[in-house]
Each structure stands twice: as structure tokens, then as C-alpha cells.
Amino acid sequence: MKKLLLICMGIAMLANFSGIYGQENTDKISLSVDVASSFVWRGLALNSSPVVQPSFTFTPGKLSIGAWASIPFTPDEYQEVDLFINYHFTPSLSLCLTDYFGYDYWGWGTPSYFNYKKEETCHAFDLQLIYDGSGAFPIKTMISTIIAGDDLKWTGNDWDGKWKNNFSTYIEFGYGNTYKDVDWEVFAGMVPMASDFYNVTGADVINMGLGLSKRFEITPTYSLPLSVKLMVNPSMKIVFLTAAITLF
């Protein structure tokens, strides 16, 4: 946890340096609610039933701080509540630290949110370097590493070993554009090493596909964004087609 606190402090300290890009940046608060047909994350199906996904973001200058959740419509399925802090070095390059807190209820009681013990916690801390493709290089790029939490591997022999952080890493590339009022993006994501977190035994592609989105005008002042994604996990040989709408 000491390393994690140092990383959080380092991201926060970056906010003190002005002039990296643009001096003026108005603080704002954003609220949103999405409804999705299911919850598929990086090629992994986390929910089979529809979910509601509320979020809020507070943006003081170049920092973004917020929370996001995925809540299933049916009981006893996977639930998740995330906190994040994101710092923009430039308009297109950012560093984000996300605390994933996810669990299955199953009627056994909710795990303690404040339990950070390596072998018991339901937290996973993900450090992501993100390039959104809006600069000179048009390819969206994300490199993500689980730096602490429940991403573990057993080291040593069966009777004399211990759990250590696995530092599971996910790398994704994407390219998109607009065609006839429809935004589209093709993407591919892979894991470069064995990881129980991503359910792979070695380097493998786990997420590739096509995303489409369009805004439908409901009234002169309100439009409803709809997004559809076709995703394939070649490692697990499964395919997903999901849809989501942003209510607010």
C-alpha cells in the first residue's frame, strides 16, 4: 500500500505543474447514467444480464477524479464500484489510476471495502497510460498494469511458496472515424504474459472487434446516444454483441 500511496501522491503533484499544455481549464462536474445489455470488459464477460452504470467526474484543471459503478438488474450477479484519478499531460495523453472493487454477492454477504490484505481483498489497482489518438499519431493506445490488489501468482513449490503480485498487463490499440453520422472504431487488445486475472496461460489476444455509436435526436434539446459493440475473445473462442444507451 505504501507504493500505491506514493503513486497517488505523484499523480496529484503533477497537477502543480502548469504550462504542460494550456493554462486555462475550467473546473466542472459531470454526471451520467448508462444502461447496457451486459457488462463485457476487455474480452471478459462479467455479467450476463443488463446493468445500469452510473458515474460522476470532477475535473479541477488537468485532473479528473471520479467514481463509476456497474449494478446488475438481476440479484446475485457481479457488481463493481470503481474510483479513479486521471491526469492529462497533454489533451491526448493521460495517466490514470483506477481502483476496481468487484464482487459476486451470492447471498454470502458483501466483502469489506476496507480490506486491502493481498490474499483477501476484492480490490485491484490498475495504472493506465492512455493516448486517445487525437494528436499527430491517430492510433488510440492504452497500456494497463495491475500494480496491487487481487492480481496474484503463486511462487515457489506447492508446499513452500507464497503469493506475489503478478502485474498483469493489458495493451490495446484502436482506430476510429465517422461515417454518415456514425462513429466507428476497430480495436484489438492483448495480454503479453500468463495471467489468472485475464484467464490466459501466456501471451494472447483477448479482445478485438468493432464499436459503433450514434446520437438519436429525441427533442430539439435532448438526444440519446446509442452504442453497439461486436467483440471477439480469440483466446477463449467466444463472441459478444452488446448495446448501451446513455440516459444522461
Instruction: Give the model's pLDDT for residue 22.
Output: 44
Average pLDDT estimate for 55-69: 96
Tell me the pLDDT of the chain averaged across its residues: 89
* Residue 12 to residues 8, 9, 64, 86, 233, Cα–Cα distance (Å): 6, 5, 10, 9, 36
Tell whether the model's pLDDT for residue 236 goes beyond 60. Answer: yes
Instruction: Give the model's pLDDT for residue 104.
Output: 79
Tell me the C-alpha distance between 36 and 242, whole Å: 7
Instruction: Give the model's pLDDT for residue 189.
Output: 98
Beta strands in 42-122 (DSSP E): 44-47, 51-59, 63-72, 78-88, 93-104
pLDDT band at 105 (very low <50, low <70, confident <90, very high): low
Look at 69-78, 163-172, 191-200, 204-213 and tell me which has the smallest mean pLDDT.
69-78
Query: The whole model's pTM is what?
Result: 0.87
Q: What is the DSSP code string of 192-215?
A: SS-BTTTTBSSSEEEEEEEEEEEE
Instruction: Give the model's pLDDT for residue 26.
Output: 63
- Name the residue ranges covered by the structural domains of the chain: 2-15+30-246
pLDDT tens per residue across span 3-20: 444 444 454 444 444 333
C-alpha cell, 113: 471495502
Q: Would you identify the CATH topology of the domain 2-15+30-246?
A: Porin (2.40.160)
pLDDT tens per residue across span 114-163: 999 988 899 999 999 999 999 788 999 999 999 999 999 988 777 778 88
Tell whether the model's pLDDT for residue 21 goes beyond 50. Answer: no
C-alpha cell, 135: 494528436
Angle made by CA atoms 12, 15, 20, in degrees to the nearest 5: 140
Average pLDDT estimate for 71-98: 94
What separation, in Å, do the N-terminal and C-terminal C-alpha atoms of the chain show?
36
Beta strands in 89-181 (DSSP E): 93-104, 123-131, 140-149, 152-156, 161-165, 169-179
Tell me the C-alpha distance between 227 and 28, whole Å: 25
